[in-house]
A and B are shown apart, each in its own frame.
Chain A
Amino acid sequence: MDRNAITVALPKGRLLPDCIRLLSAVGMRTTEEIDTSRKLLFSSEDGSARILVVRDKDLPTYVEYGAADVGVVGKDVLMESGADLLEPADLGFGFCRIVVARPASISGREDPTGWGHMRVATKYPRITTDHFASRGEQVEIIPLYGSIELAPLVGLADRIVDLVSSGETLRQNNLAEVEEVARITARLVVNRASMKIKSDRLAPLIQAIRQETEREQRGVNQTRTGR
C-alpha cells in the first residue's frame, strides 16, 4: 500500500450502514460488503484507503494513536472517551439523546438539595460525573454495561443516565425522563498528526464529507417542509 494511503475506522453496530453509504457517496467504495462480511479490514477499490471495522468504544483509541487517520463515532462514545481528537464534522445521522431518568412514580421537580446520597446507574461514568459536577452536584456512579433501566427497579440506583432514541424502553420500565444531558449524532474524528502530515488527502476528504452531509440535511429539511 502506498505511503500516502489513509486508514478509516468505522464502528460496528447501528452506525455502520450510514457510514458505508457516506463513504461511497464521497467516492470511497469497497468491492466487499463491509456490513455483512465478518472480515475486519478492507481495502478501497482504488487501493488508496483501507477501512477497519472496530468496536465503537475502541474507535477513539484507534484514531488517537494514529492506527487510523479518520473515523466515525457517536458523540456519546467520544465524550465518554475523553480522547484528544479533531472533530471536524457533525454527520447528522445516528441521532439520539443522553438523558437522566427516574422512576415514573416520583413526581415534582428534581431537588438536588434533598439529595443525600444519590446513586446514578450509567454506562457513561465520565459524562454523568461531568454533568452533575458542572452544577456542583455530587452523585455516586454505579457503572453498568447493559440493561441500565433495571437498576432503579431493583433498588440499585435512584436515577439512570442513558441513551434514548424513542423513549419506549424507558416507558416500558416505568421510568420517566427528567433532563436531557446531551444530543448525540455521529461525528467525523481525525487524528491530530494525520491532519497535518496527510493533509493533502484528508482536507479534500473532510470537505467532501461536509458537503455530502450538508446536501443530505437539506434533503431532509425539504422533506420535512414538504409535509
Chain B
Amino acid sequence: MSHGRIIGPWQLPTGVFEMTPDRAASFRKVENSLLSTFSGWGYREIRTPAMEYLETMAQGLTQAELDIAFKLVDRYTGRMMVLRSDVTPQAARMAAIGLQDLPRPLRLCYIANVYRYPDDPGHPRRELVQAGAELLGLQEPQADAEVVALAVNSLRSMGLSGIRISIGQVRYARGLLSERNLPPQTEDRLMVAAHRKDWAGMSGILDSEGITGGDLRPALLALTETQGGDEAIARAEHLAPNRECRDALTNLRTVLELLPSYGIDRDLIQVDLGEVAGFRYHTGVVFAGFVSGAGRAVLRGGRYDHLAGRFGNPDPATGFAIDILELVEIASGRVEMVPSIDYMLVNRTGDRAKGLRIAVELRNRGRNILCLIRDLPQERLLPYAKAHSIKKALILEGDGSLHCLDPSSGEPSACDLEEL
C-alpha cells in the first residue's frame, strides 16, 4: 500500500492462474492425453502433497532451486515447510520409503501444480503445472532411451510440432572438471558459460584460472560450440582427457543408437554436451525439449542416481517433467474443441418429473445432459446453448412430442428418445 497501489478484491496475485470452463476443458483434454500416453508405457500415476518439509525438498534440489520455493512455518512442529516446487524429490521419497518393497523397476508419473518465486523477472509465473514421468531402479541406457522416447511421445500427444530434443551427458563435463581442482564457484561459472554457449565468457574464466594450454582448455571451450549429431560426439571423444569422459560419451552414444527403435527420428535429436543446467544434481544423460512457438525449453529431464539414496534406499533413476501450462496455449490453437454437453432438455409439458425421468434415462446411457430450470424465449435459447458448449437442445413440447434443435444452424429435427 505504501506505493499507493490499490489491490482490489478482484485481482489475482501475480503469476497464478485460473481457468474458465473452455480453458479448463482444453487443459483437461491435454492432461488426459498425457496420462494416457504415460499409462500406455506402463507408468502409474501418483499424487504427492502440496507441502513438504524444507529438509525433504532440499534432498533433491539445489540451493538456488530452494531459494525460489515458497516457504511457510508448520505451526505444529515449528519446522519450515515449502510449497511443492518440484515433484521429483517427492517421487523419489515415495519410491524409497513407501514403495521400497515393490520389485524394481518402478514406473511413476504425475501431473501436479508447483509453486516457485520467479528467478527471472521476465517470467513472473509463480504457479506452474508439470507433467512428468520417473523410471526408478534401472541403470541401463535402455532406461534413458525409454524416458527420452516417452518425452517425445508426450509432446506429440499434445499435438505439438517442431519437436527437438537436445541431449547431453553431464558426466562428460564433470570428467573435464575433475582434471583440475577448481573451487566450486569457478566450476559453476564455467558451467553457466557452457550452458549459455558463452565462448568469450568461458575463455575469460579459463584465462583467470591459468588454464591456457594443454588439452583441457579446448575441451571445455568445445562445450560452448553449437553441436549436432554423431560428429559432435566424435569431436568430444577426440578431446576427452580421461576415462570418465570417454565412458560418458560411450553411454550417450548407446542411448542415441537405441532411439530409432523407439520411432524417434534422429533428426529430432541434437547432441549438446553444453546441456549442463543441472550438472550437480544429474548423473548421466540429460535432455531438454523444444517445440515451435515456445521460446524456452518446455521439458527437462535426465538421470539422477543419487537422489533415492538420500531417503535411505539407493536406486538409480531417470525421468523428465514438462511445463504444460504454456504448452496448452500453443497446442489449443491446433486442438478442435467440440461441445462437451450432449443435450439441453427444455421441458414444456408442465410436468417437471417427466423431464427429469428422461434426463436420468439419458445419463444412464452415458449422455451428458443439462436440464433447463427456467424456460427461455426461442431467440435466447440457442445462444444460451452455444455459449455453454451444448451440442443439441432437446425440446419436450406440451403435447408430449420431442424435437431437437441444432444450436449452430437453428434447424429443428424430429427425434426419438430411444435413439438419443
Q: Which residues of A contact B (CB under 8 A)?
A: 60-61, 64-67, 81-90, 187, 190-197, 199, 202-203, 206-207
Contact = CB atoms under 8 A, between A and B. Distances in A.
B196 A196 contact: no
23 contacts: A65-B295, A66-B294, A81-B122, A86-B196, A86-B198, A87-B196, A87-B198, A87-B200, A88-B199, A88-B226, A191-B295, A192-B290, A192-B296, A193-B164, A195-B197, A195-B226, A197-B162, A197-B290, A197-B291, A199-B226, A199-B270, A206-B226, A207-B226
A194 B411 CA distance: 49
B97 to A, nearest CB: 35
B198 A192 contact: no
Interface string B220-232: 0000101010000
A197 B288 CA distance: 12
A194 B296 CA distance: 9
A81 B121 CA distance: 8
Contacts of A85: 196
Contact of B164 (A87, A197, A207): A197
B266 to A, nearest CB: 13
B51 interface: no
Contact of A196 (B120, B122, B164, B199): B164
Most buried by B among A84, A202, A206: A84
A84 B296 contact: yes
A169 to B, nearest CB: 27
A89 B199 contact: yes
Contacts of A81: 122
B292 interface: yes
Nearest to B198: A87
Nearest to B270: A196
Contacts of A191: 295
Given A87-B197, A90-B200, A64 B296 contact: yes
Most buried by A among B197, B290, B292, B293: B197
B297 A192 contact: yes
A63 to B, nearest CB: 8
B154 interface: no
A207 B120 CA distance: 29
A87 B100 CA distance: 45
Interface in B350-368: none
Contacts of A206: 226
Nearest to A193: B290
Interface in B168-211: 196-201
Contacts of B90: none
Given A64-B122, A85-B196, A87-B197, A203 B228 contact: yes
B228 A193 contact: no
Give the secondary structure class of B's interface.
Answer: loop
Given A82-B120, A203-B226, A193 B294 contact: yes
How many of chain B's residues touch chain A, expressed as a range? 20 to 34
B166 interface: yes
Contacts, number: 72
B128 to A, nearest CB: 16
Nearest to A210: B199
A151 B290 CA distance: 46
Most buried by A among B198, B292, B297: B198
- Which 8 A-B pairs give the minimum distances between C-beta atoms? A66-B295, A90-B200, A196-B164, A193-B290, A87-B198, A86-B197, A88-B197, A65-B295
A83 B226 CA distance: 20
B200 A89 contact: yes
B228 A199 contact: yes
A84 B198 CA distance: 12
Contact of A90 (B199, B228, B292): B199
Nearest to B195: A86
A206 B225 CA distance: 10
Contacts of B162: 197
Contact of A83 (B120, B166, B293): B120
Contacts of B297: 192-193
A195 to B, nearest CB: 7
Interface in B243-271: 270
A193 B224 CA distance: 16
B122 A82 contact: yes
A81 B198 CA distance: 16
A80 to B, nearest CB: 11
A82 B121 contact: yes
Contacts of A203: 226, 228
Given A66-B294, A196-B164, A199-B270, A88 B122 contact: no
Contacts of B201: 87
Nearest to B196: A87
Most buried by B among A85, A197, A202: A197
Contacts of B226: 88, 195, 199, 202-203, 206-207
Given A193-B290, A199-B270, A88 B224 contact: yes
A90 B204 CA distance: 11
A82 B197 CA distance: 15
A90 B228 CA distance: 22
A92 to B, nearest CB: 9
Nearest to A207: B226
